[in-house]
Amino acid sequence: MSAMPNTSCQLYLISPTDVGGDFPEQLKLALEAGPVAAFQFRVKDVSQHEAALLAKPLQEICDAHDVAFVVNDDVALAKSLDADGVHLGQSDEELAVARQELGMDVQIGITCHDSRHLAMEAGEGGANYVAFGAFFPTTTKETHHRPELEILQWWSAIMEIPCVAIGGITPDNCKPLVEAGADFLAVSGSVWNCPGGPAQAVRQFNELLQSAE
């Protein structure tokens, strides 16, 4: 089982909602292009059986590249796949319930939007990481929160639990997030929709992350 490492800022890829067709090959190319800490499987409006069928080849690619495989919003699916982690929103199953269901070895991340209070609750409740965002406009999902960079600085100063920055992040705008203390950059559209392909996007992000160390 792959764990999300807690070192300098790293990439956390989030899948598009359509992971059929040639997406497994796109994921393979992305993971071969440079270091990626985690991949989040995020599909909507499909049965759990169909989701599991879609997830399996992607999970195998992640395992082969030592990348943590995280399931979005679905504790039961994460358990059935023996996933490395699950990412929960504020309206999903409670952290305590998920921990009881999945055990201590599974990474649990919590969406905290722009709220210091929600982040503290998640940290004290045993989350392995908290996610803040959306920092920039995004078309990947509907957003209602726009945190300031200060929330990353505040969190990294008082907590050892990693924080993830999410929302409209590109190679052109990510540097301030890294400098503010983000441990992970969660990226989706800027990788899968990159004109040069996902491998090029991963290389661009990693060049910036390495130069920021």
Domain span holding position 109: 10-211
Residue 159 and residue 123 in contact, taking contact as beta carbons nearer than 8 Å: yes
pLDDT per residue over 109-151, tens digit each? 999 999 999 999 999 999 999 999 999 987 766 666 689 999 9
What pLDDT is stored for residue 211 in this prediction? 87
Question: The domain spanning residue 92 has which CATH number?
Answer: 3.20.20.70
**In which region does residue 69 sit, left (phi positive, over 0), alpha (psi from -120 to 50) or beta (all else)?**
beta
In a domain, 3, yes or no: no
Q: Is the pLDDT of residue 92 over 80?
A: no
Q: Is the pLDDT of residue 154 over 90?
A: yes
What pLDDT is stored for residue 3 in this prediction? 65
Checking DSSP bridges between strand 85-88 and strand 68-72, what pairing results, if any?
parallel
Q: Among residues 95, 141, 97, 145, which one has the least CA distance to residue 122?
A: 95
CA distance 34 to 150: 29
CA distance 123 to 109: 10
Residue 134 and residue 169 in contact, taking contact as beta carbons nearer than 8 Å: no
What pLDDT is stored for residue 91 in this prediction? 81
Rounded to the nearest integer, the mean pLDDT of the chain is 94
Q: Is the pLDDT of residue 1 over 70?
A: no
In a domain, 125, yes or no: yes
Cβ neighbours, 10 Å, residue 105? 10
pLDDT per residue over 30-89, tens digit each? 999 999 999 999 999 999 999 999 999 999 999 999 999 999 999 999 999 999 999 999
Q: E strands within 45-162?
A: 68-72, 85-88, 107-113, 129-133
Q: Residue 150 is inside which H or E element, if any?
A: helix 150-158
Total number of domains in the chain: 1
Torsion sign across C-alpha atoms 24, 30, 32, 38: negative
What pLDDT is stored for residue 93 in this prediction? 76
Stated pTM of the model:
0.94
In a domain, 63, yes or no: yes
What pLDDT is stored for residue 212 in this prediction? 79
Structure tokens at 149: 């960079």
In a domain, 1, yes or no: no
In a domain, 4, yes or no: no
